[in-house]
Amino acid sequence: MSTLRTPAPGGPRPLVASDLDRTLIYSAAALDLRMPDAEAPRLLCVEVYEGKPLSYVTETAAGLLAELAVRTVFVPTTTRTREQYHRIHLPGPVPEFAICANGGHLLVDGESDPAWRAAVDRRLAAECAPLDEVRAHLVRTADPSWLLKERVAEDLFAYLVVDRALLPSGWVKELGEWAETRGWTVSLQGRKIYAVPRPLTKSAAMREVARRTDAPETLAAGDSLLDADLLQAATHSWRPSHGELADKGWTAPGLTVLPERGIAAGEEILRRFLGRSAAA
């Protein structure tokens, strides 16, 4: 692994590892504009793809993000591939670190750290069935009547895009039981069914960044099942009242469940990050 970096002037800063989609940034479909104030918030587009705006933050959140980047080691933490992550342009300085592909890539100044990726590959080879085996099983057992797309992300994990209305009620459970014996996990999130190697986690990459920066504490936020390990591993964590974790009523020590939903939750998460970092 890379050596420890020199702490910023004034001593080490808290590390903030936050999921992006439906935690800090929101598509038009996920905005849920039930804000505390009567007037709808002004939005700032932070992602454009093929000429179309995809993701937004509020103008208030943009200011909070810029402040957070100065006061903490802010680490965007996502299941997105590197290519998908680089489409996002958050307000404030470009983060020194980012976690992509659910922990499979640790970006340092925008580039994947080869030592980290090599360590991930070694662990997956030792503990999990090969990706090709899992992918073949997904394609073989999925029914074309409800399977819309099949994808592999960064040669690390696989996912299906499905028609939820036609998905058989027991299929995901059966797939999860099959995958568990091979060192993989399965989760259904929206229209996507993810098959991810068990050791491939956001929390492992977060711990590595904390080690390199000598962070005194770790703060995290997320909304999906793939964020659960990240929230459990952090010193303090937050989740909104939407998403798969909310649907399951999921909680953990050190976790605060926020009442806000949609883009209002994104603002509140940033306020909590800043409040806790000031206290630290």
Report residue 34's pLDDT band, with 50, 70 and 90 as the boundaries.
low
pLDDT digits (tens, 9 = 90+) for 212-262: 999 999 999 999 999 999 999 999 999 999 999 999 999 999 999 999 999
Report residue 2's pLDDT band, with 50, 70 and 90 as the boundaries.
very low
CATH code for the domain defined by 15-121+201-279: 3.40.50.1000
Structure tokens at 237: 């964590």
Q: Does the pTM of the predicted model rise above 0.85?
A: yes
Cα separation of 151 and 251, whole Å? 30
Q: What is the DSSP letter of 101?
A: G
pLDDT digits (tens, 9 = 90+) for 58-87: 999 999 999 999 999 999 999 999 999 999
Whole-number percent of the chain with pLDDT over 70: 94
Domain ranges of the chain: 15-121+201-279, 129-197
The predicted pLDDT at position 49 comes to 95
The predicted pLDDT at position 11 comes to 74
pLDDT digits (tens, 9 = 90+) for 155-174: 999 999 999 999 999 999 99
Task: Write the burial class of residue 231 (CB in 10 Å: 0-12 exposed, 13-18 middle, 19+ buried).
Answer: buried
Beta carbons of 280 and 216 less than 8 angstroms apart? yes
Angle between helices 171-180 and 131-141 (to 10 degrees): 160
Asked if the domains 15-121+201-279 and 129-197 are classified in one and the same CATH topology, the answer is no
What does each C-alpha distance from 209 to 3, 52, 65, 185, 201 come to in angstroms? 11, 33, 19, 24, 13
Q: So what CATH class is 129-197?
A: alpha beta
Higher pLDDT pick, 256 / 7: 256
Q: Which residues contact 6 (CB under 8 A, 6 or more apart)?
A: none
Q: How many CB atoms lie within 10 A of CB 118?
A: 11
